[in-house]
Each structure stands twice: as structure tokens, then as C-alpha cells.
Structure 1
């Protein structure tokens, strides 16, 4: 019986997709989420001329993963947020009215502070209000991030494409970054569309309080890097960092090539820190690196580029040396392709999901990994409430969001600590 029902439903779906005049089947419409979720009585499902109770249907289709969305709508014990619906539910459905990406889900959100549906507002304003609400409700800037590399589209750069919003774990990563730990400070303010070239003509801007960190000085040629005999040496060469200059920020400025290499390879799906723990065990104990085979070359690099060659740097460069070939393989992989690696630190399965990420260095001598669309002169800021630094680009009297970055040395809230003791000041950034 269950197989017959599944076959019938799948046949209806295929016919619907092949013939637009038939329309989408009922359970593929976005509004069905609200209709189904808030129904006072147990819904009845119609299959052709037949009617089946939802309880009967779910018991026989529970093994099919596509029905988990509906199961959760009726059986969820804890109230879900708008963000959870956008991340976990909405992308499986369709709608022709763009405002419904928000309004069709709000009815399921139990929050007196949620936006009130108003179809007279421009679509961009509906999205802006929804994202500001999400930032405040979720207490994190991370809800603004998605998997795009290019953010030039008809809506503000800080409004994500709902079909490309990241899974929360992909944003916070396995290592739980907390670069801007604290409560986010945001607001939607009036800001007339500027005369200077801007991707969006909205008359609002996101007012965002953040700690300015640095500006991009160099953008690494990743193709050249992947073809180099030594990824370590080529990266240091392209970073062009003067490690002898005084530190503007009182935080660690070691090159961290190995860490950034793993960030690129793992793409937030595996823990870089756990890999380093395995490396410590392999290389001579948790307290530090007591023995590293064939490490004379990295020591020569430290002397050539004039940076301290301490235990942590030694460990980092040992990891980089081990993963050089893996880095090349992942870089050359197609999006979504899985690669399996095995080395002395463990076994890894990585699905290449980087949307054109690149290494960069900053004016103050820090190295990082950011979106491929970043450019020289872009600013690195740490907003309050963000797990990662953001890359923003100036456009006259405002900024546009380029994407998020990883900059070793500031990922654990070091800048917020300096702000709290009065060493660093924050500022207001207007994003459009």
C-alpha cells in the first residue's frame, strides 16, 4: 500500500513539472506550510479520487525522507523560528509572490515582535525588515550570510538569497568561531539611494555597529598557488607580509598557513582544531612539537620571511606540509565532488563546497581566507554578534557586504576584548 501511494504522489509531481498548465501539486506550494502547520484538525490528504488521513499517510511514508518536513510541522515540540523555517523548510517549496518567502512562514512563528504582513511594501523592504528581525531574534549577524560569492543583485547586499542560506553549522563551523561575541547592534534606517554606482537602489540601509580591523592589501592567485612546488613558500611570497613591522593590533600575527589550508579543504564541515589536536599527538605530545621529520625547509622559510619559528608555527607548517597535495586536489575538484584523504593525522572525506574562496593579506600583516570576490582595499570588520569577520566595500557614504572571512588571531573574540578594555573603538557601518 505504501509503495502504491508513493508511486502515485511521485507520478503527480512529475506530471506537474512537465505540464505547467496543471500547476504544482498541493504539497509543493509554499503556502501549504502555513495551511498544514496551523490546521486545527488533522489534515486529510487527497490522492486522485481518494482521501487519506494524515496520520495514516505518515505512518506508511515515514521511511521516505522528503516527508520529514511535514512531520516536523505537526509534531514539533518546541516552537520554531523564522530562520529555521527559511533554512530547513522553505527551499523545498515554490511560490510566485516573492513576499511569500517571508509572509507564508510568519504565521508559524510564535513571536509578538515578528513583522506584520503588508503586501503594499516593496519586496526589498519586506526582506530588509525580515532580516533585521532575524538578527535581533536570533541574536547573531550570521543570518545575513549565504553561499553566494557575487552579491550584486537587485536587493541589498546584506539580504541573503533564501534559497542559498547556509546551514547554521556551515556558518559557525565545527570550531565555533566567536570573533564578535556580544549582542548585535543593528537597525534599519532611512538612507536615500545614492548617486554613486551601487548594486541596489533601496532607500534604506542596515546600521551595523562593528569594530574596524584592517584593509585587504594582497589577494592571492589561488591557481598559481595550487601549481607551486611549495604551497607554503608561494603563499608567503604572495602574502607579502613584513613580519618585522610593529603590530597595529595586539593579537597573534603568525602566518597560520596550515590552518588556512585546512579551512579551505574542510569548508567548515570538519574541525580544523581537532585535526591540530591529532597532529600534536602525532608529533610529540599535547604540550608542543618535540619532533618533526623533514622540517628544515619550513625553518628556512621562517628565516627568509623573518617570522618567529616557535612551537605553534612549527606545528602549523607541519600540517601545511602534510596537506599540500590534498589542497591541490580539493582546489581542482568540481563543486560537490567528494574527496577522501588518508594521512598520518587521520582519514577525511571532504565535499568540495567552497564558492571560490581565496587567501588574502592585510595592511597590518595578517593572513586570511575570504570570498573570491574580495578586492584590494576592501575593509575587514568584526560586527558585534558575528561569529566571523565580514568583508565590506566602500561605496561613497555606505558599504556593501562582500562576504565573511577567517582571519586567524581574531576568531575567538580578541577584538571585542580589546574594545571592552578601551584599546579599540567601534563604529557604525551603513550597509546597502
Structure 2
């Protein structure tokens, strides 16, 4: 079918609105009117999945045919029914005018698309509310009922919760799950929820701002079911804080719902770097430039008298690698911090690089790669950086846990480069990797047994025992293998030392002393005795869960100056460890000639609390200009 609709040019600051004809015709029809965005009549905005569906259903706009997908046609039929429904229960979503991107934007006009993308945040925030369209299957009823049960559990536990931080962290346990009265994992409702989560809407990057910017609580339309967004959002957030979202039985798409819900609950803006890191793995785009452009309506950077900075202005004539490089350089120089480096591509052979949908050869190694992943988030190495959700009124920024402070609060220090693909930045070269344990291979989206990897890590780490106090060595080992992120379990550092000691004691009980590598029998016995003391009150399963989280798809290494740490799966013996000004964690670099390739971020016990900067100030280390390409 050939589209016949002729779009009149849109004046600056104007949008088009669709009015659907309310009749019983088997054909969909309506008319478009051009209105100033700042003075538009009341309208609803539709959020739905474009996907890869064929555009083979006609809608007649101003008497001319336009091809749309069957999914969109289903949404329009439902909206037409709502517009014709006179019952009082539907007054809050009785639809007259709609804004729908596929219909209201001339998709064949690249210039118009770019300009309308700039307005997208205003378009959704000025709508009465966003209506979310999901395809319907009869079996989804069980999913909605399960969501209601989980929401009731959440509200019973946290009657007055308003923000994510009102729900304390808790590690998942089968016993706790059973005590809540929720269905067992073999119950069909979990499969129904999994199938509901497979709908493309939950992974489409554009839906983030479409749901977040809605003036009123968005409403989900799934067949004849109407479901308020806030209930789904709280379910996802409760499950996240209680450890459910790392389980393979739970649809990974609830991570996406939780992300949208947290952004929506924030009354203040998010910085673009925080939005990009929080969404780049979870959400997908047909056009990889939209991984940036779809977030601009939410970004703090656009809240200036001049609007969107030139470096961020939508331009679909740029290649993806050019856009990502421009955005990265803008972010680094604007904020002089480096947590966005958590999303770099990685070197060849790195598992993170293998998980990418696209490998842009021209993308410099230091530029974050926000393109689609081929796996769900739980299959990707967990980032060391995070968005702290410090409060609904705080600007949400990308950073690290407070006790990560490798560069002692120093800002990033850049030197000019004639080549835009080269980053020239200052820092301290600490040492080299001399021993390494590669991550265990993981082939599917299932729980994995990392005990063999932990045993290899143990054997490698014992190389440091002879030169380190045993108690200090145990503490370094536990902190390194959990990246010192004990707060994720709701515990303290001291408690996790107990948990880690209990795990190591259990692990070593299964192995004969002769398998312990370089450790002598007497030192081994001394270590076991100390672990018995340190493990009192410890839970090995809590340590195992957290260590499995952070060692997953990461290498463990020992450095030339006696540090142990975890880092990118692509790291190799001979790679350098550097503390770069503006970075709160050490980084792994690989020398190539007179410059470096960026390998990735790391956690190195003994380098995250400003130790390197202190030595530099005492004259023990020399500041270097590090050139990364």
C-alpha cells in the first residue's frame, strides 16, 4: 500500500493533533489539525511499540490513506471505543484529540523529525496524560492478578512509601518469599507475567519519557484491561529492593519498569549521563542515535535559557559514532567526572563487547557505547557506577558509592588534542597486572555456579599471603570480590567480613591443603583458625550472592605492587592500572605505542580511598598525561 497523505510544512513551535472519527466503520479515519504547542487544546498522548511490524493497515487522514501497523490500528480502535463510551467510568480517559508520533510527524521529512524530537519532551508533558497501549492475550489476566497481589504485599509492608529509598535493601530468600503468601515459582501466573513482559513496549527507549512526563498517572490499556501505571511501578521497585529482579524466574523487563518509575517519581531533573547509564542496557532503539535523543526531554542539560546545547541538538545526519563521541566529550568536559566510562565498548574479546548488537569500529575506546545489547541486563557485568536516588527533589547524577574516592575529589584534567578521537587526560600510573583469573563462562540466562571461579580466585590471591598480614588479607579479599558494595544487602562492612569469612571457611573445607597453591600447610591452618573466629554470625549465602553479582563477567587480578581487584573480562597480564583525575575508581589501560587503549573500570582494594593521590602529593608518584585513542 502506498501512502497518499500530504503533510503541510509545520511552522516552528507547532505540532499536529489527530481527531479520530467516531463511527462504526470498519475503516479507521480521522483528521489532523496544526496547532501551536504552547497553546494547544487538551489532548492525550499515545505510547506504544513501533517494533518491526509491517505498516499494512490503512487509516484515512483527511481523506488520504496512511499505512500503520496492526498494533497501532488496535490501539486506535480501542481509543475510538473509549471516545464513543458515554459511561462515567471512562470519563478520565475519554479521548478526543491525540498526539501519535507515527501519524502526527511526517516520517519521511528528516528535518521535521529532528525538530519534532526537540519538542518531544514538551509534547508529552503538556498532554492530559499518556495512554500506554499493550497487545492483549487472554492469559495476561493472570499476570495482572499477580501484580495486584505483589502490590498488596508492598503496601502492607510500606504503607507510607513515596520514594525508592523508603524500601530497604534485602537479599532474596525462598523462606521470605514463602512467608509473603505469594504464588510459588511453579505457579502459572509467573509464566503469564513473563509473557506480558516480553511485549516490545517494555524495551523501547522512547517510552521512558512518554511515561515519565505524563501530567497524570499514565494508564495502561491491554485489551479491555485498564491498569494504573503507579501500581506496576511500585511492584517493580519493591521487587528490585528485595532481590527479586536478579532471579531468572522474574521477567527482566521489570528492571525497565523500575527505572521508568524512579525517574517519574523524581521531581527534579536527571543529568544526561545518569539517564544514559541507567537505560542503555535495558532499552532498545531501531535507530541507535535515539539512545541519546529519546532522553533529551528528561535531561537537565536542556533546562537552560538557550535550550538544548549544540552538541546535543538532534541531528539525524550524524553517524552514531560521531554522536556518541560528541556527547561523551561534552559530558566529560561539562562535569569533569568520569563515571560514564562504565559503558565503554571494551577491547576485542571482552564479554561486554561480545554482547553488543553493534560494534562501531570508528568509536574511540574511551567513548561510552550506548547501543543495544543482545542480552538482558542480568547477563551483563554489574556497573560500579550508579545513580544514588538521593531523594525526589535532588538532581539525579551519575556517580559511585560514597566510599569510592580514588582520585580524592580531584576534577578531570584535560589537555587539548587536534584529533577529536583522542582523549588526553591526566592521572597516575600505579602498576601492572601480573596474575589474572578470567571469568567463568555463562551460556544462558540462568543462575550460575561461580564456586569454581572463586576457587581459582582464591588460589591466585594466596600469592599475596606471604607478604601481607593474614587478617588484612582476608579483609582485602572479601572487599575486592564484592567490590565493597555491602550496602546492597542492607548490611554493614563488618557483617560482610563475617559473611565472607563463613563462605571461605566453607569453600576451603572441600579442598585438600595441597590444592591451595603457594600457601604452606602451617599458614593454611592459621588462616582456617582465623576464619573460624571471623565467621561467627556470618551467612555464606549472603556473601556468595554479592560476590557472584560483582565477579560475574569480570576478571580477578593481582598487580605488580601487591593489590588485588576485579575488572573487565578483557583485561590481560601486562595491562596498566591507573588512577585518572576525575575518576572515583581505578581504570585498566593497555599500552599501544605511545598511547593507550581504554580497557575498562575496576575495583582495586587499596586504591579506592585516595591512596594514590596521597602518594602523588608526597612525591612518590608522578602525574602523567595519558593519551587514550
Is residue 124 from structure 1 mapped to residue 284 from structure 2 by the alignment? no
Query: Which has more radius of gyration?
Result: 2
Distance 1:38 1:420 in 2: 49
Aligned to 1:19: 53
Count the aligned residue pairs: 364
CA shift in 2, pair 1:186/1:269, >3 Å: farther
Q: 1:362 Cα deviation (Å)?
A: 1.9
| Pairing partner for 2:365 from 157, 160, 182 | 157
Could you report, residue by residue, the CA deviation over 1:88-113 in whole angstroms, capped at 9, with x for unpaired residues? 45666654444343345446422569
Aligned to 2:337: 140
| Pairing partner for 2:590 from 393, 397, 401 | 393
Distance 1:77 1:262 in 2: 35
CA shift in 2, pair 1:281/1:321, >3 Å: closer
Aligned to 2:407: 180
Distance 1:373 1:347 in 2: 25
Q: 1:147 Cα deviation (Å)?
A: 7.9
Superposition TM-score, scaled by structure 2 size: 0.46
Distance 2:130 2:493 in 1: 55
Q: Is residue 496–residue 538 contact of structure 2 (8 Å, CA) maintained in 1? A: no
| Pairing partner for 2:427 from 188, 210, 224 | 210
Q: Which runs of 5+ in 2 are unaligned?
A: 1-45, 56-67, 73-99, 106-112, 133-212, 220-227, 234-255, 354-358, 374-381, 389-397, 441-449, 501-508
Aligned to 2:531: 318
Q: 1:173 Cα deviation (Å)?
A: 5.6
Is residue 43 from structure 1 mapped to residue 260 from structure 2 by the alignment? no
Q: 1:241 Cα deviation (Å)?
A: 8.1
Is residue 379 from structure 1 mapped to residue 604 from structure 2 by the alignment? no
Superposition TM-score, scaled by structure 1 size: 0.63
Aligned to 2:83: none
Q: 1:343 Cα deviation (Å)?
A: 1.9
Pairing of 1:360-371 with structure 2 (within 5 A): 360-371=557-568
Distance 2:520 2:563 in 1: 18
Aligned to 2:618: 421
Q: Is residue 207–residue 429 contact of structure 1 (8 Å, CA) maintained in 2? A: yes
CA shift in 2, pair 1:258/1:277, >3 Å: closer
CA shift in 2, pair 1:381/1:79, >3 Å: same
3-state secondary structure, aligned to 2:268: coil
| Pairing partner for 2:494 from 277, 286, 295 | 277
3-state secondary structure, aligned to 1:63: helix
CA shift in 2, pair 1:185/1:115, >3 Å: farther
Q: 1:234 Cα deviation (Å)?
A: 1.8
CA shift in 2, pair 1:27/1:74, >3 Å: farther
Q: Is residue 437–residue 556 contact of structure 2 (8 Å, CA) maintained in 1? A: yes
Is residue 102 from structure 1 mapped to residue 270 from structure 2 by the alignment? no
Aligned to 1:290: none
Aligned to 2:602: 405
Q: Which runs of 5+ in 1 are unaligned?
A: 1-10, 192-202, 245-251, 284-293, 324-340
Could you report, residue by residue, the CA deviation over 1:292-340 in whole angstroms, capped at 9, with x for unpaired residues? xx9xx9xx99984999x9xxx97997399969xxxxxxxxxxxxxxxxx
Pairing of 1:34-113 with structure 2 (within 5 A): 35-39=119-123, 42-43=126-127, 55=215, 58=218, 60-65=228-233, 77-88=267-278, 95-106=285-296, 108=299, 109=301, 110-111=303-304
The worse-fitting range, judged by mean Cα deviation, of 78-87 and 21-30 is: 21-30
CA shift in 2, pair 1:302/1:376, >3 Å: closer
Could you report, residue by residue, the CA deviation over 1:341-381 in whole angstroms, capped at 9, with x for unpaired residues? 97289788547364421221222233222222111111110
The worse-fitting range, judged by mean Cα deviation, of 85-94 and 123-132 is: 85-94
Q: 1:70 Cα deviation (Å)?
A: 7.3
Aligned to 1:332: none
Q: 1:213 Cα deviation (Å)?
A: 0.3
Aligned to 2:460: 235
| Pairing partner for 2:549 from 352, 363, 367 | 352
Aligned to 2:481: 264
Distance 1:228 1:125 in 2: 39
CA shift in 2, pair 1:234/1:349, >3 Å: closer
Could you report, residue by residue, the CA deviation over 1:162-210 in whole angstroms, capped at 9, with x for unpaired residues? 257946159966563111121111356223xxxxxxxxxxx62011111
Aligned to 1:286: none
Q: 1:389 Cα deviation (Å)?
A: 0.5
Q: 1:393 Cα deviation (Å)?
A: 0.4
The worse-fitting range, judged by mean Cα deviation, of 86-95 and 64-73 is: 64-73
